[in-house]
Every structure is written in structure tokens, then in C-alpha cells.
Amino acid sequence: MKPHPLPKTVAPLPDELLSGWLSRLAAANYCDDAELLAHLRIDTAHGTALDFNVDAAAAAKIANAARVNPDVVRSLTFPAMTPREASLTAQMPFQHCMQCAREGLSLRHWRRAWAFDCQVCGTRLVQTLGKLREEQISGKLIYRARRGAEMLECAARSRGPKQLRRAMRAVTFAMSLKTFRGDPSFAVQNPRSEVRLFCLAAIAAARSHPLAKAAIVSKSIDDYARVALLRAFEKEPRLLAAVDHIAQRCARNRSPMTAVSHN
């Protein structure tokens, strides 16, 4: 038996995510997400579970209740992705546009690790958690992180794996400096802006002076960071040797002992 169509329906907007549209549908009918899903007899408490995969039966129930075509319901989920894109697409919301979220929107592109500015209104996306208040984030960091995000998108969509490998190496290195542990692809989808922005900025920094940057910071790092540095470069012994060489040279140039020995 099909549930009755809802008294009110709302039209999905471009790039809207199924879970976001269901929330707006629930609000229009004066109930919450869980109540709506229970009414539709869909066996999940969270609409976000449907964003990546909605089966034919659930799509039909939603379509009937909202008086739309089941194809419309399916079009609100993520399309098939390459493994690389999938690893950089968050299962749960981690950032949003304050402007659009206020109107109850939840958009698909916000879930991409490389999304930086809202494609609808142009406002910079903000992380859903974070110790830093917006005004504490420096303009320079934002500028660099935005450039890193653009590079990450190119890397995720490029044909070969090389670009993404290079980007993730920079992220792994940045994580070591922030003593943030875990998978680098999760670091760039982190709901805390202090982690995400720093890691994105590292992608941009690694592009301009990869080895020098690594060497400069490696001179005063603790053991954990040192291990992370080794891990970041473990598959490239030549790069690691180059980083070490530069680090030693930097140390020699700075050391007062060197000056004394020349006299």
C-alpha cells in the first residue's frame, strides 16, 4: 500500500541533494526528517543515507508522496563516480554556505573536498565545526587554500593518478605539522576549518616549492612529524634524500658554528 501524497510539495532546485530536498519537504509539511521517512515507510532515520544510493522502491515512495517523477528523485543523488572522486566526496555534510543553508538548502557540490565557494551565491563555504571563528582566519590562508582547492579538483579529475598523489603527499605533510592523524583524503573533508584550510593551502605551497618548503619545516619538527614526513615521502626515496640534503644545508647555513669554523 502506497502512503498518501503529502499535502504540500516543493520543487527540487538545481544541484540540490536528496536529503536536503527531503528536509525542505518535511518542513513544508510541518514534520521533521525522521517523521517524514517513517511516514514514507523508508527504513532509515537519516536522509543522508539515501544521497549515494536510493533503491527503486524508495524512489517510487518518495516520488508518489511528493508528486514528482521517480527520475527526479534519482537525479538528486550522486551520479556514478571514479574511485578518485569518491574518495574526495564526503558521506556526511562537513561544510555549507551560510547564506543558502539559511534558506534550508543542502547542495551536492558542498560535499566535494575541493568545493570552496558556493556555486549558487559565491559565498565562501564554512566548515560545520571549528575552533576558529571566521574573523580569526587570515586572508592569506584563505587565498592559498582556495588555490589548493582548485588544484585538488584538477587532480581528482585528471586522467592519471600522479597529480592526486602529489597533492595528497602535501596533505600528509601538512597533517604531520598539525599532528592530525588519519587518512589524507579525510583531512581535506574535515569539518574543522583549522585542519582543512591548512591542508588545502599545503597543496598550493607544494606546487611552488615542494622540497624547500618540506626542508624548512623539517628542521624543527618533533618525532611524530618526522615519522609522518618519512611516510609522506616513503615511496620516493630520491625526494626524501633531497629534502634531507636541503634541510642539512639550511641547518649549516644557520648555525653560528659554521661561521666560526671559517675564521
Report the site for Zn ion in 16-45 (rule: CB under 5 A).
Answer: none
Site size with Zn ion, rule: CB under 5 A: 7
Q: Considering the complex, state which of residue 124 and residue 231 has its C-beta at the smaller distance from Zn ion.
A: 124
Q: Considering the complex, state which of residue 25 and residue 118 has its C-beta at the smaller distance from Zn ion.
A: 118
Binding mask 103-122 for Zn ion (x = CB under 5 A): ---------------x-xx-
Please report whether residue 100 would count as binding Zn ion according to CB under 5 A: yes
User: Could you tell me which of 114, 113, 123, 130 has the C-alpha nearest to residue 194?
Assistant: 130
Angle at 13 between CA 64 and CA 70, to 5 degrees: 25
Binding mask 118-157 for Zn ion (x = CB under 5 A): x-xx-x----------------------------------
Beta bridge partners of 126: 96
- In sequence order, the 6+-apart residues with CB closer than 8 A to the CB of 190 are 94, 127, 180, 196, 199
CB of 12 to Zn ion, least distance (A): 16
At 17, is the secondary structure helix, strand, or coil? Answer: coil
User: Could you tell me which of 3, 102, 104, 115 has the C-alpha nearest to residue 47?
Assistant: 104
Q: Considering the complex, state which of residue 100 and residue 145 has its C-beta at the smaller distance from Zn ion.
A: 100
Q: Which stretch binds Zn ion (CB under 5 A): 38-46, 79-87, 94-102, 196-204?
A: 94-102
Q: What is the DSSP letter of 30?
A: T
Beta bridge partners of 96: 126
User: Could you tell me which of 207, 184, 206, 205 has the C-alpha nearest to residue 195?
Assistant: 184
- In sequence order, the 6+-apart residues with CB closer than 8 A to the CB of 230 are 240
Pick the binder of Zn ion from 18, 97, 152, 170 (CB under 5 A): 97
Please report whether residue 99 would count as binding Zn ion according to CB under 5 A: yes
At 131, is the secondary structure helix, strand, or coil? Answer: coil
Q: Considering the complex, state which of residue 93 and residue 184 has its C-beta at the smaller distance from Zn ion.
A: 93
Q: Considering the complex, state which of residue 98 and residue 259 has its C-beta at the smaller distance from Zn ion.
A: 98
Interface with Zn ion by CB under 5 A: which residues? 97, 99-100, 118, 120-121, 123
